[in-house]
Structure 1
Amino acid sequence: MDKQRQYERVFNHFDEDGDGRISALELQNCIGSLIGAPMSMAECVAAVEMMDSDGDGLVSMEEFVRMVEGGGEEERVKELKEAFKMYEMDEGCGFIHPKSLKRMLSRLGESRSLGDCRNMIARFDLNGDGVLCFDEFKIMMSSSS
């Protein structure tokens, strides 16, 4: 089986409703069934945002292949920076604080306590300062994709 057909097969597995696009919910459902541990909706939304180059909130076959092949690393970093900005408390501060994470998760429809947000940050807070810098955010996003 050629590579393109393999990509299509995997893509179609994620695309539950067959509309040619993968939504955050479809990603969450598929990842949960594949690895047996669910990703949070916020993680799925962020993953879709990272892959979504046309800004429609969904992942097309083309975007999926680009992500799988690892092409466009520069573009991926740019997209991650955009996602990171959404979570910053004060635009341009360079950090995601527990309060800003809580606020963004609420906007995404996922209510979490401040303590939950501190714990989520602590998992990827490599220097122990209680906030996520961009490099720590990149690590978090690559571990959830």
Structure 2
Amino acid sequence: MDEKNKQYERVFNRFDENRDGKISASELRLCLGTIGWEISESEAEAVVLLADSDGDGLLGLKDFIRLVEGTEEVEKLKDLKEAFKMYEETDECGGIGGSITPRSLKRMLSKLGEKKSIGECEFMISQFDLNGDGVLSFEEFRNMMA
């Protein structure tokens, strides 16, 4: 078992108060409450229901690991969306254009202290522009950041 899974197992064992090898909704709720994450009993039950792979209404270690890693992926996706918004083109009215253009990339890099020409920005975008439209969509940005 790798170090990351060992850490998950240690956390799992802390949540598993009755030491039955499973985490119930009430155990999940109680442990999350100790770290400041207040969730209702029905929310805890919904989390367990979604992550429970064998239908027993409890989380085994593998369920718990999938749940934690899924939560990490959701957080990474949120962070990527926020980063994308920083670079994204806006129209004159302040609306979001949905892509990173050479102009918006140049503007953001300039704010970060990097002086690039439009041509340099076009080249940077072309390295990850999978559909050849000259701009980066969120999916292309996500691939670039992977």
Structure with the greater relative contact order (CA < 8 A, sep ≥ 6): 1 or 2?
1
* TM-score with structure 2 setting the length: 0.49
Larger radius of gyration: 2
* TM-score with structure 1 setting the length: 0.50
